[in-house]
Amino acid sequence: MSGRITRDEAAHVARLARLRFSDAELDELAAQLSAVLDHAADVEALDVTDIEPTSHPHPLVNVTRADEVRPSLDWDEVLAQAPSVDDGQFRVPPILGEAP
Amino acid sequence: MTALAIAAAVKSGERTALDVVDEHLARISQRDAEIGAFNLVLADEARTAARNVDAAVSRGEPVGPLAGVPVALKDNLCTRGVPTTCSSRMLEGWRPPYDATVVQRLRSAGAVIVGKTNLDEFAMGSSTENSAFGPTRNPHDTGRVPGGSSGGSAAAVAAGFAPLALGSDTGGSVRQPAALCGVVGFKPTYGAVSRYGLVAFASSLDQIGPMASNVADTAACYEAISGHDPRDSTSIDGAREPVVAGLGQGVDGLRVGLVAELCAASARVQQDDGLDGVSAVEGVAADVIAWVDAAATALEAAGAAVTVVSVPSAVLGLSAYYLIAPAEASSNLARYDGVRYGLRVDAANAAEMNVSSRSSGFGAEVKRRIMLGTYALSAGYYDAFYGKALRVRTLMLREFAAAYADVDVLLCPTAPTTAFELGAKTADPLLMYLNDVCTIPSNLTGHPAVSVPFGSGDDGLPVGVQLMGPALSEPVLLRAAAVLERAAPSDGSAP
Amino acid sequence: MSPVVPEREPAVPGDWELVVGLEVHVELSTATKLFCGCANRFGDAPNTNVCPVCLGLPGSLPVVNAAAVDFSMRLGRALGCEVRGAVFARKNYFYPDMPKDYQISQYDQPTNTDGHLELPDGHTVGIERAHIEEDTGKTTHIGGGGRIHDADYALVDYNRAGVPLVEIVSRPDIRTAEQARAYVRELRAILLAIGVSDARMEEGSMRVDANVSVRPAGSDELRTRCEIKNLSSLRALGRAIVYEAQRHVELWSGGERPRQETRHWDEANGRTTPGRSKEDADDYRYFQDPDLVPLAPATGTIAAIDAALPPLPAARRAELVASGGGAVSTEDAALLVERDQDGLVRAAIAAGADPGVAATRVANDLAVDDWSPVTPEGLAALVSMEISGRLTATQSKQVLAEMADGGGAPDVIAQRRGFQAMAGDDLAAVVDQVIAGNPDAWSRFCAGDEAERKKLAGFLTGQVMRATRGQADGAAVNRLLQERAGS
C-alpha cells in the first residue's frame, strides 16, 4: 500500500464525483486506488515526449448531419420516466448554487 | 441447433419460429434459476415476434437471415419500452424510449429477442459478480463465474438458452466470458458496429460484439448488426466486407504471429533466442498457454506460417486501460443524478439529492472506477495519468501496425486462466483487473479480436484462444477462427 | 438605439485605468440543435423539443449539426479569426439543467482564434477565441419569490438543452463602459449581417458576461478580475462595469484587493453582489469527447466562406459615409447599418437625395420593424420636398411614417393630409401675432446675449409651431424672428 492517495484527496475526488463515503470507506478506497496507480507507474514513468496522444482508434473527421428537424419524443414518454414531475417539467429540490 | 440451422429451418417451413422460441423458453425456465443468466425473460414479446416471423414465412414474404433465431441481449442495450437496467439499482425499472441500432437491425434480420442478460454493473467487471441483481453462474460449473462483464450472455449461449447473444466489449467483456463459458466471442473493429443505444461505459473502447456456440453463427450475427450508422459519429463509413461466405476458405499461406509478451511461457517463445529479456505479462496459466501452442500448431497444420512477434507495449495495456476507461466512465456516468430518470433518493437540495441518489444507486466497483477516473482527469494529474495513457495508446497502435506488417493475425490467450470460483477475486480489485490483460490491447487499438474455444484446462473447464487482426480484418480473422474451431478437440484431452 | 444612460464615465479616476474583457454567448439560429434533430425554437411548451440525445438518455450519442459548424466558421471569419481544425471536449460539472452533467464544448482546440473587432469609433478589440458549445436547459426556481437561495424547489425544461452556442471571448482591450456597449452593438450587427443569430439580449439569445478589473493608469499589468453575470441589457452592462470598476478602485485604494469571483448584477439596486463561491476550485476535468470526431475544414472551405460573406457593418458604414461625401455623420451611419437601412439611404442618395438629410431623416424617424414600402425614389422625393420647403421637418416625419405604412408616394401623402409648409406672408403674420402675445419674452429676446437669445428663440418658435399646428418651417421662423429683432 503506497499511500499515493490520502483520505483527504479521496474525499475531494468524492465531492467532485458527487459520491458519499464513510471515513472507513474512504481509507479503503484510497488504498485501492493507490494500488491501481502503483500498477500504472509503468505508464507514469514512460518517456512519451515525442508521442502524440490518441483519443480515438480511428482517424475520422468531419462527421456531421444535415440541419433537418427530426421528430422529438412524445412528452408523456419523456416525463413518464422522471422521478418527479410538476407542470410538464422535471422537478428537483431547491438548487443552492448557480451554474458555473 | 445452430442459429443458421434454425434460420434455414424456419425459412423452409420445416420448423416454426414459435416452436423454436418455446423450446428455448422451456430451457430457460428449466435452468435459469440456477444459472442466473437473465435479468428479464421476454416470453410474451418473443412469442409475438416469432408468430410475426411465421406469418411472414407463410405469406411467402422475405424474412431476414436470422429468421426465428432466439437472441439474448446484454442488459446494457436499449430496448424500447423494455426495462434496461445495466444490472444497476440506478436504472432499475428504466424503460428506454428507443431501440439501440443493433436491436433494430436484429429485429429486421428476423431475430427474436428472448431476454436481457445479466452483467457486471454498467459492464464494469470480469466475473458478473458486480451485478446488483446477483451473480450469474458458469453453466459448466455453477460454483464458478462465467467471466464478465457479458457473463449473462455467455452463460445463456453456453446453457443453450439462446443460440446467439450480444455482449459489449470494453476491455474484453465479450471475449473473456466467451472463453470461460466455452463459446465464441467476437469484438469487431471499433466503429464497425454502431454504439447507438449501448449504455456507455468507456466510449472510445466500447464495442458491441456477438457470442455464439460456433464461428459461423457469430459471423452471421456480425453481418446482421454491423454497418454504418449516421447516429454514431464514430461509426465507420462504407459497406462492411461479408464474412460468412469466406469462412471455409482456410488459412493456407496465412502468416500468424504469437505475441511474445502475452505468451511468455509458450514453448515457441521460450525457444526463440531473439526474445530473451522481453518483459511479459505475468499470471497466464500453463494449461492455457499449452492450448495456445496447440492452436498455433493446428494453424500450421492447416497451412499457416507461425512466427513469434514482439509487441513490447502490450504489457502497458492494462495500466493504460485502467486510466482511460475509468476516466471516460466517470464522465459517462455523471448523468445518473436522480433528475430525469432512474433512482432518486431525495434530499434537502439538488446537490445533496445527486449525492444520495448516486451513493445509493451505484455499487462498489462502479464507485471505485468513478473515483479512479475522476482522479485521473482532475487538475494536476491529467498529464501524469490520462494524458500519458493516451500516448501509450499511440505507442501501441504503432507497434501493432509494425507487427501487422509482418503477420496477418496475432495469436494469444483470451483469459489468463479458466473460470475461477465465485468470490475468489472480489476482495482485490487489481487481481480482478488482471483478467483483462490479454484482451485489453485490442480495445486500446480499436482492432478486432475473437475468442475461440480450444481445449480444456487442467480443471476440465473451457479454454479460449484469441486471434487479433488489424482494423477491418474481420473476414480473415473469422476465417482463421473457423479453422481453429474445426481443429479444436471435442473431448477434454490435453494438448 | 438603446437608451444611453449617463453612467458616470469615466468610470474610474484619472490615475486608474479600466480593463474589461467580454464573454458573449450567442445562440445560433439553426433549424435544429447542435447534436440532434430537435427543433431549435424559443417559446414552445416545456420539454416538447427533446429526444434521447438532448436529454442525455443512456446510450444516446451526439452527431454534430453541419449548419452550426458552418455558422461558427462564418462568424469566425467575420471577426477576422484563424479558423482551424477543432475538437470537442467535455466540461464536467453537475447541474440539474445539464442533461449529461457535462457540457460539450471546445477547449484547447477551438474553431476560431485570434480575431478582432473594430468599433465604429476606430478602437480595435482583440478576439481571443470563438468556440462552439451546447446550451443548457432552463431552470425555474419556485417559491421564495423566485430567488434562487430561498426557493422551495426548481423546475427544469430541456427545450434549450443542446441549442448551439458560440462563445466569443474578447481580449481585455476594452477601456470604457461605452466601448463595452459599442462592442456588443457591433458584434450584434455582425451576427445579424451574416445571418447566424437573432442576437436578442432580452430573449437570452445573446448573453454577455463582463470581466472587469482596474489598474494604475500607464501600467500594463492585469489585476484580479471579477466576472459579472446577469447582464440582460446594454444599459445593465454599462452600469455594472462602472459600479464594479469603482468598487475595485475603492478596494485597492483602501489597501485591500478584490477577490477573484463571479458576481451578479442587481439591476434594481444598481450594484453587483457576490455569486458562486470558489472555495471548491473549479475542476472541470476537460477531456476530448470520445463520442465525437475532430472538425477539420477541408481545403477551400475557408476561401468559400470568405467569398460568401456579405459586406460587414464596418465596411458598410464606411461606404455609406463615403457615398454621402462627408454629409452623413458616423453616428447616423452606425445606426443605419445596425438597422440594415444603409442600403435604402445609399440608393436614395444615388437617386439624387441630399445625403445628410436623407440619412438623418431615416436615422431619426424610421425606427420601425418593417419599412419595406419605403423606396429609394420615394425617400429621395421626400427629402427634396423637405429641402425645397414644401414640407416642414415635422411634416416630413409624418409623411415618412405613412410611407412606411404603405401610404404611397410622399407628394400623394402630403396632398392627402393637406400638408404644405406655411411660408411667406402667412407665416410672417403668425410670427407677428406671437411677438405681440409675448411682449416680455420678445423684449428679452431683443436685448439678450447670444445664449439668452437662443433660449428665447426656441420658446418663440415653439409658440409659432403651436399656432400653426406644426406646419411652419423652423428655419423660416427663426429667420423671421431675427429680421424682426433687427439683427
* A 73-92 residues inside an 8 A Cβ radius of C: 73, 75, 78-79, 86-92
- The C-alpha torsion from B122 through B128 and B129 to B134, rounded to 10°, is 80
pLDDT tens digit string along B87-116?
999 999 899 999 999 999 999 999 999 999
Q: What whole-number percentage of chain B has pLDDT above 90?
A: 91
Phi, psi of B116 (to 5 degrees): -110, 130
**What is the per-residue pLDDT for B87?**
98
Strands C153-157 and C112-118: unpaired
pLDDT tens digit string along C206-250?
999 999 999 999 999 999 999 999 899 999 999 999 999 999 999
User: What's the domain count of chain C?
Assistant: 3
Burial class (CB in 10 A: 0-12, 13-18, 19+), B360: middle
pLDDT tens digit string along B24-67?
999 999 999 999 999 999 999 999 999 999 999 999 999 999 99
Arithmetic mean of pLDDT, A65-77: 94
Burial class (CB in 10 A: 0-12, 13-18, 19+), B171: buried
Report yes or no on A14 lying in a domain: yes
User: What's the domain count of chain A?
Assistant: 1
**What is the per-residue pLDDT for C236?**
95
Categorize the per-residue pLDDT at A75 as very low, low, confident or very high, splitting at 50, 70 and 90: confident
Q: For residue C449, give the 3-state DSSP assignment.
A: coil
Of C423 and B255, the structure prediction assigns the larger pLDDT to B255
B84 and C58: CB-CB below 8 Å? Answer: yes
Q: A14 to chain C nearest CA, in Å?
A: 12
Query: In the Cβ-directed half-sphere of B86, how many Cα atoms lie within 13 Å?
Result: 27
Question: C353 with C239, same domain?
Answer: no
With cell 471577426, the residue in question is C79
B322 and A40: CB-CB below 8 Å? Answer: yes
Question: C350 with C366, same domain?
Answer: yes
**Spatial separation of the C-alpha atoms in residues C351 and C347, rounded to whole Å:** 6
Arithmetic mean of pLDDT, B247-271: 94
pTM metric for this prediction: 0.90
Arithmetic mean of pLDDT, C257-261: 92
- Kindly tell me if the per-residue pLDDT of C285 is higher than 90: yes
Question: C290 with C332, same domain?
Answer: no
Residue at which a domain ends, from C378, C402, C417: C417
As a CATH number, domain B3-225 is 3.90.1300.10
Strands C262-266 and C226-231: parallel
Report yes or no on C1 lying in a domain: no
Q: List the one residue out of C36, C89, B409 whose CA is nearest residue A64.
A: C36
Considering chain C, what is the average pLDDT of its residues?
Answer: 91
**Spatial separation of the C-alpha atoms in residues B486 and B301, rounded to whole Å:** 12
Question: C346 with C455, same domain?
Answer: no
Q: What whole-number percentage of chain B has pLDDT above 70?
A: 99
Arithmetic mean of pLDDT, B1-12: 97
Q: Note the residue count of chain B.
A: 495
Listed range (A15-29, B59-73, B421-435) with the worst mean pLDDT: B421-435
- Kindly tell me if the per-residue pLDDT of C6 is higher than 60: no
Neighbours of chain B (3+ CB pairs under 8 A): A, C
**What is the per-residue pLDDT for A97?**
79
Asked if C211 contacts C225 with a C-beta cutoff of 8 angstroms, the reply is yes
User: Where are the domains positioned within chain B?
Assistant: 3-225, 249-314+395-487, 319-384
Write out the DSSP string of B313-333.
GGGGHHHHHHHHHHHHHHHHG
B348 and A53: CB-CB below 8 Å? Answer: no
Arithmetic mean of pLDDT, C124-145: 94
Arithmetic mean of pLDDT, B445-470: 97
Query: In the Cβ-directed half-sphere of C17, how many Cα atoms lie within 13 Å?
Result: 14
Q: Which CATH architecture has domain B249-314+395-487?
A: Alpha-Beta Complex (3.90)
**Single-letter amino acid code for the residue at B422:** L
CA distances B345 to B61, B262, C244, Å, are 51, 46, 41
Categorize the per-residue pLDDT at C466 as very low, low, confident or very high, splitting at 50, 70 and 90: confident
**What is the per-residue pLDDT for C147?**
67
CATH number where C478 lies: 1.10.10
Question: C285 with C319, same domain?
Answer: no
**Closest alpha carbon within chain A to B191:** A58
Question: C362 with C474, same domain?
Answer: no
- Cis bond upstream, residue B149 (ω within 30): yes
Q: List the one residue out of C69, C163, C67 whose CA is nearest residue C112.
A: C69
**Spatial separation of the C-alpha atoms in residues A55 and C290, rounded to whole Å:** 7
Question: C128 with C176, same domain?
Answer: yes
**Spatial separation of the C-alpha atoms in residues A3 and A55, rounded to whole Å:** 30
**What is the per-residue pLDDT for C151?**
87
Q: B91 to chain C nearest CA, in Å?
A: 10
Arithmetic mean of pLDDT, C263-278: 85
Domain that holds residue A39: 7-45
Q: For residue C364, give the 3-state DSSP assignment.
A: helix
Q: Best residue in B193, B335, B369, B375 to probe A by mutation, most A CBs within 10 Å?
A: B375
Report yes or no on A19 lying in a domain: yes
Write out the three cell numbers for C236.
Answer: 445593465
Report yes or no on C385 lying in a domain: yes
pLDDT tens digit string along B340-354?
999 999 999 999 999
B429 and A35: CB-CB below 8 Å? Answer: yes
CATH number where A27 lies: 1.10.20
**Spatial separation of the C-alpha atoms in residues B133 and B120, rounded to whole Å:** 10
- Kindly tell me if the per-residue pLDDT of C279 is higher than 60: no
**What is the per-residue pLDDT for C146?**
61
Listed range (A76-80, B50-54, B192-196, C306-310) with the worst mean pLDDT: A76-80
Of A58 and C356, the structure prediction assigns the larger pLDDT to C356
Listed range (A19-28, B107-116, C119-128) with the worst mean pLDDT: C119-128
Buried b (16+ CB within 10 A) or exposed e, B309-342: bbbebbbbbbbbbbbbbbbbbbbbbbbbbbbbbb
Residue at which a domain ends, from C283, C305, C327: C305
**Spatial separation of the C-alpha atoms in residues C102 and B329, rounded to whole Å:** 12
Arithmetic mean of pLDDT, C169-186: 96
Q: C162 to chain B nearest CA, in Å?
A: 15
> With an 8 Å Cβ cutoff, is C47 touching chain B?
no
Report yes or no on C161 lying in a domain: yes
Q: Which of B127-131, C3-7, C410-414 has the highest mean pLDDT?
A: B127-131
Of C109 and C475, the structure prediction assigns the larger pLDDT to C109
Catalytic residues of B: 74, 149, 173
Domain that holds residue C374: 313-417
**Spatial separation of the C-alpha atoms in residues C62 and B233, rounded to whole Å:** 7
Query: In the Cβ-directed half-sphere of C289, how many Cα atoms lie within 13 Å?
Result: 28
Question: C226 with C337, same domain?
Answer: no
Q: List the one residue out of B216, B74, B214, B87 whose CA is nearest residue B153.
A: B74
Report yes or no on C5 lying in a domain: no
Of C38 and C456, the structure prediction assigns the larger pLDDT to C38
Q: Would B3-225 and B249-314+395-487 be classified into the same CATH topology?
A: yes
**Spatial separation of the C-alpha atoms in residues C290 and C295, rounded to whole Å:** 13
Write out the three cell numbers for C41.
Answer: 425554437
> With an 8 Å Cβ cutoff, is C148 touching chain B?
no
Write out the DSSP string of B177-211.
HHHHHTSEEEEPPTTTB--TTBPPSSTTT-EEEEE
Listed range (B98-107, C80-89, C156-165, C410-419) with the worst mean pLDDT: C410-419
Q: List the one residue out of C62, C85, A3 whose CA is nearest residue B234.
A: C62
Categorize the per-residue pLDDT at C1 as very low, low, confident or very high, splitting at 50, 70 and 90: very low
Arithmetic mean of pLDDT, B211-215: 98
Report yes or no on A54 lying in a domain: no
ipTM: 0.96
Question: C125 with C206, same domain?
Answer: yes
**What is the per-residue pLDDT for B405?**
97
